[in-house]
Chain A
């Protein structure tokens, strides 16, 4: 059975540096669908990232900045990128060699599929 998010995740995981991507419920932090390399703790990562995204969204709204567009967390050895719509969050986790611009464009394009 084909999934509505399989194509999006399949496209994102092929980018250089991407080690995992998933669609997560924003409010429950549960994985809807994922494509992860071995070694990534999917459920923990999904719960924590969804929480982070939700708080960032609320912070942006509280500051009068409107809805969050794209969320990027820059860490010592990689990045976490997230964007969302309709209670779903598209998350990408990547190493140091990620072309952020390219992935960002593809993630924002993929928002239509989450609508």
Chain B
């Protein structure tokens, strides 16, 4: 299974989620678009694109939820012709991460939702306190972004 992570605590929960939910692609990222772990992507540029789009969708849907409901929407599901995407927040003690999963007929929304709930619990338990992590959008954001992509694709 081709899982790559930029933070070691991501690996076990992400591996379990991918294995159980039978998704084709999965990315865990910070709301800023910085990748923490991925499964299924072959090229770093694809991860970068997916993370940028996922972060933008997450920000838009979050704000839409706040406008409509007073709080951000927790998850978004989109059904395509052959594949579906599931984008959802993964709250931790200090921050809220974002998971993007792509799946086809081998899985289902029910299965993805089911194993996502377990994933959330595992990530919340495994995530280190924010004080030990650098800020998500610090002055060296671009360097951090590139470093994470390099770690994921073995160029670090």
Of A3-11, A26-34, A61-69, A90-98, which binds chain B? Answer: A26-34
- Of the listed residues B107, B109, B110, B114, the one surrounded by the most CB atoms of chain A closer than 10 A to its CB is B110
Q: What 1/0 flags go to A79-99 for Cβ under 8 Å of B? A: 000000000000000000000
Say yes or no: B114 contacts A43, CB within 8 Å: yes
Say yes or no: A47 contacts B105, CB within 8 Å: no
Whether B108 is near chain A, meaning CB under 8 Å from some CB there, is: yes
Residues of A near B107 (CB, < 8 A) are 51
Say yes or no: A43 contacts B108, CB within 8 Å: no
Given the complex of chains A and B, what is the CA–CA distance between A27 and B109 in angstroms?
Answer: 8
Q: Could you tell me how many residues of chain B have their Cβ less than 8 Å away from some Cβ of chain A?
A: 8
Whether B49 is near chain A, meaning CB under 8 Å from some CB there, is: no
Whether B96 is near chain A, meaning CB under 8 Å from some CB there, is: no
Given the complex of chains A and B, what is the CA–CA distance between A51 and B109 in angstroms?
Answer: 10
Q: What 1/0 flags go to B108-120 for Cβ under 8 Å of A? A: 1111011000000
Given the complex of chains A and B, what is the CA–CA distance between A6 and B107 in angstroms?
Answer: 28
Whether A113 is near chain B, meaning CB under 8 Å from some CB there, is: no
Across the interface, A27 reaches (CB within 8 A) one of B105, B113, B114, namely: B105
Residues of B near A43 (CB, < 8 A) are 110, 113-114
Given the complex of chains A and B, what is the CA–CA distance between A29 and B105 in angstroms?
Answer: 11
CB distance from A79 to the nearest CB of B (A): 21
Given the complex of chains A and B, what is the CA–CA distance between A27 and B108 in angstroms?
Answer: 6
Given the complex of chains A and B, what is the CA–CA distance between A24 and B109 in angstroms?
Answer: 12
CB distance from A61 to the nearest CB of B (A): 13
Q: Which residues of B contact A (CB under 8 A)?
A: 105, 107-111, 113-114
Other A-B pairs beyond A25-B110, A29-B109, A51-B111, 9, CB < 8 Å: A27-B105, A27-B108, A28-B108, A28-B110, A29-B110, A29-B114, A43-B113, A43-B114, A46-B110
